[in-house]
Amino acid sequence: MTQRSDEEWRPDLLGGEITARTIPLAADRAAAATPDADPPVATLVRLAPPRHRRAYLYVHGFSDYFFQVAWATEVAAATSADFYAVDLRRYGRSLRPGQIPGDVRDLADYDEELLAALEIVRAEGHDEVILLAHSTGGLIAPLFLSRYRRGIQGLVLNSPWFDVNDSALKRIASGPLARSVALRDPLRIVSRLEPGYTESIHVTRGGEFDFDLVWKPFDSFPVRAAWLAAIRRGHRELQRGLRLGLPILMCTSSRSGGTRGRPARPNDHATSDTVLDVAHMWRGVPELGRNVTLHTIPGGRHDLALSAGPARSHYAHAVIDWIAWTFDRANDDDA
């Protein structure tokens, strides 16, 4: 396998063999709102020097960044793959002074860093690339694939965000209200997420995982009008049907704790999705395409890779088994 020089890679904060590199980006509409802020960038993270033809590219969710190393390492090793992840503009490693965390006015803006990341991944010798996306990333990735399908062999969705977790009336009203407010004040805070889920997984509150509370705060980044309007446009586009012509695995928790505007109970955070309504994910299966496998994880949290041990292992093996059945078996049949 031909490998590209590592001159542009640098040691990552996660240590070990993990490296990262910065992807400069063009100014977008969000940049105009903060003219004194640093220009937008994205960051591509690599778990190890490339050793395989297959690669994963992970896309995180809202108020998040890549740090799920143990889960990623397990799946990559079991499926003979290299693992990459992108911290999108204004998130995690890509957040720069003066920027508003997570701010974007059109989900298609992310095409720039995803295309650049894929170019690097392919240049490192990978001719089989599978996108793996969580939550808001699980909305961004299918929309991206509806525009740029070529060169991607598969998609794995981890609790994708396909609708607002609220009452029917508020779901209907959220898009028009966000658009109306965004026309007058795009940065106006219109909502905040409850901290219970994020608190439940952090080591300082009795959870198993350590992560940067600036990049992934307990109470999340505030939800701003222009960003929510962009999300609701993405939801409408998805709901019209994307008809993606590639194999897709959607994994979700087997249940949600707190739906239709009702708060989650404290005990729900450990064993259910307390951020989104899994029924919205299941309803979205036919909107993705014809080759979609739905797999539910009993006891799974919103980020299935951050679930308690048995559910986390169940999720890893669901992906490993799907890869073996979808790609390795097909390769064996062609041999």
pTM: 0.94
The sign of the torsion formed by the CA atoms of 213, 216, 222, 225 equals positive
What span, in angstroms and rounded, lies between the C-alpha atoms of 307 and 201? 8
Look at the block and give the residue holding tokens 């999340």: 220
30, 100 contact by CB (below 8 A): yes
Side by side, which strands form the sheet with 81-87? 10-11, 19-24, 41-46, 81-87, 54-59, 128-134, 154-158, 248-253, 292-297
Roughly how many angstroms between the first and final C-alpha of the chain, as a whole number? 19
Look at the block and give the residue holding tokens 């962009």: 230
46, 69 contact by CB (below 8 A): no
Q: Which of the residues in the chain have pLDDT under 50? A: 1-6
272, 259 contact by CB (below 8 A): no
What span, in angstroms and rounded, lies between the C-alpha atoms of 133 and 177? 28
Instruction: Show me where the domains of the chain are located.
Output: 10-334
pLDDT in tens, 187-199: 999 998 888 999 9
Listed in order, strand segments (DSSP E) in the chain are: 10-11, 19-24, 41-46, 54-59, 81-87, 128-134, 154-158, 189-191, 223-224, 248-253, 292-297
Please report the pLDDT score of residue 193 as a whole number: 86
Cross-strand pairs, 58: 85, 132
Please report the pLDDT score of residue 199 as a whole number: 95
Please report the pLDDT score of residue 330 as a whole number: 60
Please count the other Cβ atoms lying within 10 Å of the Cβ belonging to residue 113. 23
Look at the block and give the residue holding tokens 């991607």: 152
* CA 55 vs CA 118, 126, 185: distances in Å: 10, 6, 41
pLDDT in tens, 22-64: 999 999 999 988 888 999 999 999 999 999 999 999 999 999 9
**CATH (residue range 10-334):** 3.40.50.1820
Please report the pLDDT score of residue 332 as a whole number: 62
Please report the pLDDT score of residue 334 as a whole number: 55
Can you spell out the DSSP letters for 56-88? Answer: EEEE--TT-----HHHHHHHHHHTTEEEEEEE-
Single-letter amino acid code for the residue at 316: A
What span, in angstroms and rounded, lies between the C-alpha atoms of 285 and 126? 28
Please report the pLDDT score of residue 6 as a whole number: 46
Residue 303's Cα: distance from chain center in Å?
A: 9
Please report the pLDDT score of residue 211 as a whole number: 97
